[in-house]
Structure 1
Amino acid sequence: MKKTTVAGLILAGLGGLGIFLVINFTAVFSVSDLKVSGTNSVTAQRIRDVADVRLGQTLARVDVGAITSAINESVPDVTAVSVQRRWPHTVQISVRDRTVAANVTTGGKIRRADADGVIFGSVNRPKKGATKVVLIPSFDAQSTSARQSAIVDCLTVYRALPSKVRKAISRVEYRSGENITLVLTSGKTIRWGSAVDSARKAQVLSVLLGRRASVYDVSSPDLPVTKG
């Protein structure tokens, strides 16, 4: 190998090392700005506090994965997080808020929940127009998955209803996976059973509501029953 070639490789290597050192270990590309976008239900300051990005640190050494995980774990109001380095001096955090699908009463408190059954937001601040779900069983901290499934089941039932019936629903009560009940604003009740075959049950209910009754039971859609 010619000496000029070797010298060129050495210089290129030194140049690459120099660039690496400048990017990773000097203030030339340090963080001077932290931008947050997409927040509605939580403040940008809340996101900044959780992200804990130190101004002045080298941009290349900002751990975007750790920031993303911290926000996902600490801010349940958001459903998606994107953290990016914007050269030369900015960290950009973009979040997407959860959409309220239900006001859930559980343990004597009202909480908001999204379509996936995730509880979030402030206590006792229901969203106007959202489905009212009442969970009769008490779900402890270890039962998050079961609680989410219960909420999703209630929303599945509610969404299967014809729009006219949906408007007349006061609340959806969940006692178990096999015991979901709809309470109308008139005080009448609809015994739904499980969320399985909800489309079929909704069709049967549309016919059944033509009868005068206080209780409509479509838990077995092939054998519907009315009472009262």
Structure 2
Amino acid sequence: MTSQLKAAIETIEQVRWFAGLDPVVIERLAEQCQPCNLRPGEALSRRGAPQTQLSFVRSGSLELSIHGRDGRRHVTRYLVPGEVYGLIPVIDGGGAVHDARAHEATELLQLPREALLSEMQTQPALALRLLQLLCGRSRQLYELFAFQQLLSLQARLAHLLVIVANIEDHLHTATQRDVEILMTQSELSDMLGVSRQSLNAELKKLEQQALIRIAHARIVVTDPHGLARHAGEVI
């Protein structure tokens, strides 16, 4: 096994929804992946444009956004290593759902649509995992809609941090460790649709509770379990 193939297998196995699949299936997928390197700010896809590759984030992060009718860009989320991009258009054959660009220098593995669909047709376990992934993301979307309309800024912020930091994945691990969110306060405030001053005040409240630490150009979640509990308590 070449080092390139081994690295591709490890990248796919980082995705929680792929972990535990038949190693032979993962190896077949890895064999058909091609690397893709993006510079900071470089576009990967445009909303509505054809998308025929499923992208695994190996390093760096992808910024997903949409544009409103007024032309303003709204960042919806950031994808980090262990996540995939493009599942909906790859499965249904439609255009890209988001504009996607590299938030920083980013390395991807790209799997052709035909390879994924071929494996899904013969591997029910893979198809089920991808359905679970789609359902999980749909739940997050519904929750975000509810948060925007019904919850306080403190609650919206706590839930947003839980989502962008993939706290759900970290709750499945036995060891407690810090989780870095490589986003500025300006980027977080844009996602919430509030001023940076209002956001900073709420972040400081979370920092005082030892749930996060505010750092330069990033937020460090120092207590993932505690932040998840707090998000549930402030609903």
Whether these two folds match at TM > 0.5 is: no
Larger radius of gyration: 1
**Greater helix share, structure number:** 2
Query: Please, what TM-score do these two structures have when normalized by structure 1?
Result: 0.27
